[in-house]
Amino acid sequence: MAIGNLTEQKFNGKNEITSIEKAYTNEDISQLDQLYYENHRIIFNFKYYVIQSYGRDLWLDMLENKEFRNFFYTSTGTYGEAVFGALVDLFVAHLNTTTFNILLEFTNYTRTVEDLDPVEIVQLM
């Protein structure tokens, strides 16, 4: 199944919230997470960096931002990891911090999860 097809289906209300909660309660991960892990690892890692470092509530707040949500779902399916910078910029603006601080934290996080499979990353919470 193509990522583009999943992203179009995905945000009909609160489908992503359901899959995030599923990821928190099961060893399984959502199909979208699996596809992002396999095809857009930096985007997958960024999602779980935010959730594990700042909490699920902040991630859900970010998804309420239409521009962030569109970059995460629709644009990633179309442009791949090229949208990473836009996601970081919107996240930095939301936290009122610096890009340097976020990228430093994210780089350290990425080093800790680079050898883990997606289920192991989700289970770190």
Query: Does residue 7 or residue 88 have the better pLDDT?
Result: 88
pTM: 0.76
Provide the strand spans (E) within the chain: none
Question: How many separate domains does the chain show?
Answer: 1
Mean pLDDT to the nearest integer, 58-69: 95
Per-residue model confidence (pLDDT) at position 39:
92
The token duo for 109 is 């996080």
Looking up tokens 């193509």 gives: 2
Domain that holds residue 117: 3-123
- Mean pLDDT, the chain, integer: 82
Q: Is the pLDDT of residue 42 over 80?
A: yes
Q: Is the pLDDT of residue 8 over 50?
A: no
